[in-house]
Amino acid sequence: MSLETVSTSKAHGGTLGVYKHESAATGTGMTFSVFLPPQAAEGAKLPVLVYLSGLTCTHANVTDKGEYRKACAELGIVFVAPDSSPRGEGVADDAEGAYDFGLGAGFYVNATQEPFAQHYRMWDYIAEELPALLGAHFPVDLDRMGITGHSMGGHGALTLGLTYPEKFKSLSAFAPIVAPGQVPWGHKALGGYLGDDRAAWRRHDAVALIEDGKRPAGAVLVDQGDADGFLAEQLRPELLDAACKAAGVDLTLRLQPGYDHSYNFISTFMEDHIRWHAERL
């Protein structure tokens, strides 16, 4: 569980750090960022929010553009941003170099299909290894851990939050892929990583998980831009809304006028999400 510090810098009275380690889950090096608010200097263990990034992203996208530090510093929230897939020599990629499969597109599953099964184990990495690493090296209270994410990362946040409500006590998402079993991105990723076993697909599909009886620890917040070019074909938040209503899940789904899929959208509503998690953690 050793950790290499890549960089640290002061921000809003706290510390933003980037760290590397050798992952047992993925069999590769992994990089993540951690913002420690100023309250960390007081010695108390703090609540932690894990943010899962979307297609093509690394830890750096939200770290640089997410505009979360001020709110986290005010509220005493540790903010953690892992990478979206394993990387490095010998890690399989899409044969044609597509952006929506392979490197930068781990989809937060444990792959069972070759050549991806050896390294693409992001489910175990987020659910097990990363929390253990955070607990060993940072002043975090793992009993007060929330999860959020964007797009593919919103899919990961929803599926992990629904599967492990005892781990992730608060849950939100920005423009998530809510039903990968029903959209092209999901067909490609789940088929490529998990094969033809549709039962395995359902375990990584938020709408299917709710239909099959999974429930989050509490209420769920989802923000979605109505000018998002992926809204109608890939994201389909109305499916999540219908599943939550049928199951009695408390979902706040906000369709934000004029906003697209970019970090301009995410950064605009990031403070709302951090406050949502702070109230529950």
Tokens of 125: 């990495």
33 is catalytic: no
Which of 43, 129, 75, 109 shows the shortest CA–CA distance to 270?
Answer: 75
267 flagged as catalytic: no
Q: Which residue is catalytic, options 151, 204, 273, 277?
A: 151
**Phi, psi dihedral angles at 149 (to 5 degrees):** 175, 175
Would residue 204 show up in a list of annotated catalytic residues for this protein?
no
Under 8 Å between Cβ of 210 and 247: yes
Which of these is catalytic: 150, 261, 273, 277? Answer: 261
φ/ψ region of 106 (left if φ > 0, alpha if ψ in -120 to 50, else beta) reads alpha
Dihedral sign (CA 125, 131, 135, 139) = positive
Residues in the chain: 281
- List the catalytic residue out of 172, 228, 273, 277: 228
Kindly state the tokens that stand for 79: 């903010």
Catalytic positions: 151, 228, 261
